Amino acid sequence: MSDAAQTDRAPDRAEGDVNGTPARRAWVRGLGPRAAALLERDQRAFLRQALSTPCLNVAVGAAGDTLRDADGRDLLDFHGNSVHHVGYGHPRVVGAIRRQLDQLPFCPRRYTNLPAVELAERLGALMPEGAKVLLAPGGAAAVGIAMRLARAATGRHRTISFWGSFHGASLDAASIGGEAMFRRDAGPLLPGCEHVDPPTPDDCGWGCSGSCRMLCAAAVERVLAREGDVGAVIAEPMRCTTVSPAPAGYWRRVRDACRAHGALLIFDEIPLALGRTGRMFAFEHEDAAPDILVIGKALGGGVFPLAAVLAHPRLDIAPDRALGHYTHEKSPVGAAAAVATLDVIRDEGLVERSATLGRWALEFLRSAFDGCPLVRAVRGRGLLLGIELRTDLDPDAAEAVMYACMARGVSFKVSEGRVLTLAPPLNIDEARLRRGLSAVVGAVRERAGGDRSVNVV
């Protein structure tokens, strides 16, 4: 696969903002004594690891769109690890969890329970041709289940996924993932996990010279045809962290090529599903439905760790194999949280809200950054917005803007060292969304050396 598979990306182009930089150390030095003391204890108690410990700050409260830190500062949370579509501590989610805790707090394997069955039915009904479901205690585990199911269904173990992608931190998920941070020095990864370059909107490197000829899709078609034994293509339908949709028609071509060559199409929508992009599922923006969909994060209502594999009903072909045998597989508490979350998303019209507010926000950011030399591109789908900075001009700009915004009470993450990734709750109040975006615009303009003031429309 040499023509399509290129080298790993540099380690600084990581999933999130990295935690060992001088800017991080300076930020932490500015925190108050309570936060500093707990960060110190955290480092002594936890194994340190990239992107995680040492931590950024101490959270002491979370409600709606807001995180409160140990210094009593309220931060509008435009990150939320993609779990807070319905905001933190939504009363209907919390109420459902409380009731479920009193009734059936745990369900041992071999038993089933009403909330779990109801959840699987509700999820299946969301898919165009229905789905059968497996639940898992986290996204990486669900990705592993999807990989096992694809192997069982096709008899093939080889996969195609993207350089630069992230599908979870476990070794199987890191094998299909394409980020150096999770692969380098990890030892042997799973065999047969081949990678191609992703269909990124800017700077894609496929040589289409400005007018997209979709050489990226042709590469996947070529690899599927040439190898002939690929079991699955696995990808996010749109890279979440960098907010990078594929060119129109890309997924239709990959979908058709998978069918033609006996491969399954697996979409990982762990951070994107349930309305983030202004549709219930991100694949609804494409003319291509997957054979297997993996969701997670917001499914647990911002409280419970929960993920799910939604497989086309014809893939119920492995009754004698263990696909995902997890202790907390059919958690009644997790399922109750998820059913309540689906209810909130439906009853509060959050998918439509994400589309409407997202359109306004994209327009607002695009006009605010018109002519700003530091901004390469502003992208968005629903309430997922990405501001890509010219780190060729100012390598530390993204991190500097992030810390400047945090000091002003807005939290978000930086992706691949260059994209400010904004993902507010889908039920955020409009005025607060404006306030948060205005703070980001002000900080970017300030870094660019220009006018900081923002006309809030």
Ligand X SMILES: Cc1ncc(COP(=O)(O)O)c(C=O)c1O
Q: How far is the CB of 144 from ligand X (least distance, A)?
A: 10
Q: How far is the CB of 204 from ligand X (least distance, A)?
A: 19
Residues 6+ apart with CB under 8 A from 112: 330
Residues 85-124 that bind ligand X (CB under 6 A): none
The partner residues of 74 in beta bridges, in order of sequence, read: 68
Site size with ligand X, rule: CB under 6 A:
14
Q: How far is the CB of 307 from ligand X (least distance, A)?
A: 6
Query: Residue 446 and residue 252: Cα distance in Å, rounded?
Result: 42
Q: Which stretch binds ligand X (CB under 6 A): 1-9, 161-169, 276-284, 442-450?
A: 161-169
User: Is 139 one of the binding residues for ligand X (CB under 6 A)?
Assistant: yes
235 neighbors 165 (Cβ within 8 angstroms): yes
302 neighbors 90 (Cβ within 8 angstroms): yes
Closest to ligand X by CB, 198 or 442: 198
Q: Which stretch binds ligand X (CB under 6 A): 85-93, 266-274, 322-330, 411-419?
A: 266-274
User: Is 271 one of the binding residues for ligand X (CB under 6 A)?
Assistant: yes
Tell me how far the alpha carbon of residue 84 is from its chain's centroid.
12
Q: Pick the binder of ligand X from 158, 167, 413, 418 (CB under 6 A).
A: 167
199 neighbors 250 (Cβ within 8 angstroms): yes
Cα within 13 Å of Cα(344), Cβ side: 28
Q: How far is the CB of 21 from ligand X (least distance, A)?
A: 21
Q: Pick the binder of ligand X from 138, 324, 334, 382 (CB under 6 A).
A: 138
Closest to ligand X by CB, 301 or 442: 301
Q: Which stretch binds ligand X (CB under 6 A): 166-174, 202-210, 356-364, 417-425?
A: 166-174
354 neighbors 361 (Cβ within 8 angstroms): no
ω before 201 within 30° of 0 (cis)? no
User: Is 268 one of the binding residues for ligand X (CB under 6 A)?
Assistant: yes
Residues 170-229 that bind ligand X (CB under 6 A): none
How far, CA to CA in Å, does 422 sit from each of 225, 275, 343, 431? 38, 15, 24, 16
Q: How far is the CB of 271 from ligand X (least distance, A)?
A: 4
Q: How many residues does the chain have?
A: 457
Q: Which stretch binds ligand X (CB under 6 A): 268-276, 343-351, 386-394, 419-427?
A: 268-276
User: Is 168 one of the binding residues for ligand X (CB under 6 A)?
Assistant: yes
Query: Residue 52 and residue 89: Cα distance in Å, rounded?
Result: 23
Structure tokens at 10: 């540099």
Query: Residue 165 and residue 188: Cα distance in Å, rounded?
Result: 18
Closest to ligand X by CB, 140 or 398: 140
Q: Which stretch binds ligand X (CB under 6 A): 163-171, 190-198, 277-285, 383-391?
A: 163-171
Q: Which stretch binds ligand X (CB under 6 A): 221-229, 265-273, 392-400, 406-414?
A: 265-273
Q: How far is the CB of 198 from ligand X (least distance, A)?
A: 12
Closest to ligand X by CB, 273 or 404: 273
Query: Residue 196 and residue 417: Cα distance in Å, rounded?
Result: 21
Closest to ligand X by CB, 139 or 425: 139
Closest to ligand X by CB, 231 or 296: 296
Residues 294-313 that bind ligand X (CB under 6 A): 296, 307
Q: How far is the CB of 370 from ligand X (least distance, A)?
A: 31
Q: Which amino acid is at 281?
A: F
Q: How far is the CB of 416 from ligand X (least distance, A)?
A: 13
Give the residue among 280, 307, 8, 328 at the shortest CA–CA distance from 143: 307
Give the residue among 238, 235, 256, 255 at the shortest CA–CA distance from 247: 238
Residue nearest to ligand X (CB): 139
- Positive/negative CA dihedral, 373, 374, 379, 382: negative
Closest to ligand X by CB, 164 or 296: 296
Q: Pick the binder of ligand X from 123, 216, 240, 345 (CB under 6 A).
A: 240
Q: How far is the CB of 180 from ligand X (least distance, A)?
A: 16
Tell me how far the alpha carbon of residue 43 is from its chain's centroid.
26
Q: Pick the binder of ligand X from 120, 174, 224, 270 (CB under 6 A).
A: 270
Contacts with ligand X, residue ranges (CB under 6 A): 138-140, 143, 166-168, 236, 240, 268, 270-271, 296, 307
